[in-house]
Amino acid sequence: MKNPFRNTAAVFFEVLDAQASMAVRAARAFQQMSGDFTDLAARAAAVEEIEHEADDLTHQLANKLDATFVTPLDKEDLRKLSGALDDITDLIEAGAQRLVLYNLTEPRDDLAGLAGLLVQIAEATHKVVGKLRKMKGRGAMQPLFIRVHELENESDRAFRCALADLFNVPDQDPLYVMKWKEIYDHIETAVDKCEDVANSVESVVVKYA
């Protein structure tokens, strides 16, 4: 006889994994935009479509939580993870849209590096989330957590350098500075959300050890 709880548990982990995968897709699509502003509106629209798919997954998990009495993890933990994963994609999409809204015609040199780090940490976060289904303890997952934190630190350094380069150009147009700072802020906040997800998973692993 099949265990219905096992099937229910699998659905939650599958949706979380799909949400993490959407964040990776959004990050990769943004990375493609970062080095080439040709047909920027169409590229941003593609990121927006990914964001809509990610929203559908968030609603799917929320509805499943409401309809399920016994869940594989605490409902609050599942909501927190799902919300943070959705935030990653939302922030990337918002950054992509601002490239279009602000009528920026060419990328800055440091954008590609920031976008590349965003992709790396999104991929690392996806790996962390993928391990939730078969939690093997904090020690076994520690290298994954460390990798996410290392990438977040590296992104912090790149973000500070990008801001320094942006702000320290003599006679720079203030509006231009404001536009780019907001885009950088969205990237950095998305990176921070990736670290938040890893921290949440680590807490869950400790709780259920």
Q: What is the DSSP string of 153-177?
A: HHHHHHHHHHHHHHHTSTT--HHHH
- Position 194 scores a pLDDT of 98
Check: CATH 1.20.58.220 for 4-207?
A: yes
Name the stretches of the chain with pLDDT < 70: 1-7, 136-138, 209
Compute, in degrees rounded to 10, the torsion defined by CA atoms 33, 38, 41, 44.
Answer: -10
| Separation CA 128–CA 16 (nearest Å) | 11
- Position 136 scores a pLDDT of 65
H runs (alpha helix) in the chain: 4-34, 40-67, 75-101, 109-130, 138-167, 174-207
- Go through the chain and tell me how many residues it has: 209
Inter-CA distances, 178 with 71, 97, 184, Å: 45, 15, 10
CB 35 within 8 A of CB 99: no
| Separation CA 29–CA 45 (nearest Å) | 10
- Position 182 scores a pLDDT of 97
pLDDT one-digit tens code per residue, 91-145: 999 999 999 999 999 999 999 999 999 999 999 999 999 988 877 666 778 999 9
- Position 206 scores a pLDDT of 86
pTM score, two decimals? 0.92
